[in-house]
Structure 1
Amino acid sequence: MLTSDVEAIVQSALPDAQIDVSGEECSFTLAIISDTFEGQNLMQRQKGILTLFEQQLKSGQLHALTIKAYTPAQFAELQDTYLVQLEC
């Protein structure tokens, strides 16, 4: 798989999402920022994304997928936290 393949799969299900994919071949890290995650816990978010890749995981085309899923507010808070730490 290519990073563009991973991004396209997520984009088709979450057209409003900001997506960042890193990795290669069959192991990727996927960061997703979307309002869709509002009200969902971490497990619900990850399960929803993994469902999108069910076929690729079963076939072995994809072996590992690390998912980092945030709402825009959570991501902004995360950014603020790191900025504060860098200033010290």
Structure 2
Amino acid sequence: MSPEELQTILQEKLSDCDVQVSGDGYHYEVVAVGERFAGLSPVKKQQTVYGCINDLIVDGTVHAVSIKTYTPAEWSELNS
């Protein structure tokens, strides 16, 4: 699966977030920015994204994923 295909899937399932995916088709890095992450623990943030692609992980389509999640304010601060 290409990073673009995974990004499309995540963007559809996390439609209220901005999602960027990079990788080599085997290892992926996901960056998701959305207000939905406000107030969630780091584990809950990860679970939110994993829940969208769990079937792809289970069937081996997606092997390794690094996930970074931010609220819009956190993302703005990080990139200022």
Fold conserved between structures, TM > 0.5 = yes
Identity %: 28
Q: Is the helix fraction higher in 1 or 2?
A: 1
The answer for unaligned runs of 5 or more in structure 2 is: none
TM-superposed CA distance for 1:19, in Å, is: 1.5
1:17-63 deviation digits (Å, cap 9, x = unpaired)? 11211102221000111111111111101011111111111111111
Q: Which has the larger radius of gyration?
A: 1
The residue type paired with residue 30 of structure 1 is: V
Distance in 2 (CA, whole Å) between partners of 1:52 and 1:5 is 13
Distance in 2 (CA, whole Å) between partners of 1:56 and 1:14 is 16
Q: Which runs of 4+ in 1 moved over 6 A?
A: none
Match in the other structure for 1:50: 50
The answer for unaligned runs of 5 or more in structure 1 is: 81-88
The alignment of Structure 1 onto Structure 2 pairs a total of residues equal to 80
Match in the other structure for 1:85: none
SS in 1 for 2:79: helix
Q: TM-score, normalised by structure 1?
A: 0.83
Distance in 2 (CA, whole Å) between partners of 1:77 and 1:30 is 19
Distance in 2 (CA, whole Å) between partners of 1:78 and 1:59 is 35
| Root-mean-square deviation (Å) | 1.1
